[in-house]
């Protein structure tokens, strides 16, 4: 797991908050000072929040649970998408799909429908339809893919969400709250941190700041999954070795049975002689 230093946070511009008049009173706890009308974030608290988030996401992935990365603002889309793909995580970067978590059953049906359409298109099953119908279906699938691209591999409700700009993604945060799903959020000085489970106070507009933090979280998520895969493979190997050892012992027991039977026969003959 990466150890992000204060120097790295400083170089990435994580300490720059919003203008002083645009601040949220509940963000006061992580504001260090005001300089030239801009609030400066206390990077010691940024690092503490990030370290806690990294430990949580690593443990989450290590238990086999999934996380959803959310970043629909222009500055964050590319960063979130790239980091999530690299980590093998799900993501939403175009828009938050209303009811994604609170109406998961309906959303999951849409995901299954898209996957089936993609499979049918690739296998040539669409050839039975007229060309104009195929074109229409292709356009419809393309539109769905824009919004659902990063969640097509999700088979269950995510156990946590990672959010860039909790103010903009308040719909996602609200849904997570209703279902008691933990939220890891980059929280700027204009946002309310009280609704966020793991608060990372930092600049949520600068690409460098978002990239540093999201990449670190995605890396911790990837490492957690790799650790789980290694442990699973190790357990499977141990189970195979155990079965192989048992199979070796069983033939040895079977070979011993004829010897016992051979010893019993003379005893029976002696008993017969005594009877005579």
Measured CA to CA, the distance from residue 157 to residue 180 in angstroms comes to: 12
Measured CA to CA, the distance from residue 113 to residue 89 in angstroms comes to: 21
Q: What is the pLDDT at residue 231?
A: 83
> Does an H or E element contain 40, and which?
strand 38-41
Q: Rounded to the nearest 10 degrees, how much is the dihedral formed by the CA atoms of 188, 192, 198, 203? A: 0
For the chain, give every domain's residue range.
6-101+157-230
On whether the CB atoms of residues 18 and 202 are closer than 8 A, the answer is: no
Measured CA to CA, the distance from residue 123 to residue 132 in angstroms comes to: 18
On whether the CB atoms of residues 164 and 147 are closer than 8 A, the answer is: no
Q: What is the pLDDT at residue 246?
A: 79
> Does an H or E element contain 46, and which?
helix 43-62
Cα torsion angle, 174, 180, 186, 191, sign: positive
What end-to-end distance do the CA atoms of the chain give, in Å? Answer: 86
Q: What is the pLDDT at residue 276?
A: 47
Q: What is the pLDDT at residue 266?
A: 52
Nearest CA-CA partner of 39 in 50, 49, 47, 28: 28
| Full pLDDT tens readout for the chain, 276 residues | 678 999 999 999 999 998 988 889 999 999 998 898 899 999 999 999 999 999 999 999 999 999 999 999 998 999 999 999 999 999 999 999 999 999 999 999 999 999 999 999 999 999 999 999 999 999 999 999 999 999 999 999 999 999 999 999 999 999 999 999 999 999 999 999 998 999 999 999 999 999 999 999 999 999 998 988 888 888 877 877 778 777 777 665 555 555 544 455 554 445 444 444
Q: How many CA atoms lie within 13 A of 232 on its CB side?
A: 9
DSSP code per residue over 204-254 = SS-HHHHHHHHHHHHHHHHHHHHHHHHHHHHHHHHHHHHHHHHHHHHHHHH
118 CB-contact burial (10 Å; exposed 0-12 / middle 13-18 / buried 19+): middle
Adjacent-strand bridge partners of 163: 70, 185
CATH classification number, 6-101+157-230, choose in 3.30.70.1560, 3.40.228.10, 3.40.50.10490, 3.30.465.10: 3.40.50.10490
Q: What is the pLDDT at residue 272?
A: 46
């Amino acid at each position: 797991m990466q150890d992000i230093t204060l120097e790295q946070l400083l170089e990435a511009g994580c300490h720059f908050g919003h203008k002083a008049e645009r601040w949220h009173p509940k963000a006061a706890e992580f504001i260090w000072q005001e300089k030239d009308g801009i609030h400066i974030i206390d990077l010691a608290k940024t690092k503490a929040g990030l370290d806690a988030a990294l430990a949580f996401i690593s443990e989450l992935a290590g238990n086999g649970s999934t996380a959803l990365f959310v970043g629909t603002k222009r500055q964050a889309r590319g960063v979130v998408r790239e980091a999530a793909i690299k980590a093998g995580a799900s993501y939403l970067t175009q828009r938050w799909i209303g009811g994604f978590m609170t109406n998961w059953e309906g959303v999951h049906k849409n995901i299954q429908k898209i996957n089936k359409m993609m499979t049918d298109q690739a296998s040539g099953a669409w050839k039975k339809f007229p060309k104009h119908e195929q074109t229409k279906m292709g356009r419809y699938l393309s539109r769905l893919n824009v919004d659902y691209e990063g969640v097509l591999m999700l088979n269950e409700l995510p156990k946590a969400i990672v959010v860039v700009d909790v103010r903009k993604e308040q719909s996602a945060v609200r849904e997570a709250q209703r279902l008691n799903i933990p939220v890891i959020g980059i929280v700027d000085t204009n946002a309310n941190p009280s609704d966020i489970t793991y608060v990372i106070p930092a600049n949520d507009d600068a690409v460098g700041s978002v990239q540093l933090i999201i990449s670190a979280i995605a890396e911790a998520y990837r490492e957690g999954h790799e650790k789980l895969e290694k442990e699973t493979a190790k357990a499977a190997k141990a189970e195979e070795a155990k079965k192989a050892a048992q199979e070796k012992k069983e033939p040895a027991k079977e070979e011993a049975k004829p010897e016992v039977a051979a010893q019993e026969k003379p005893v029976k003959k002696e008993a017969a002689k005594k009877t005579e």
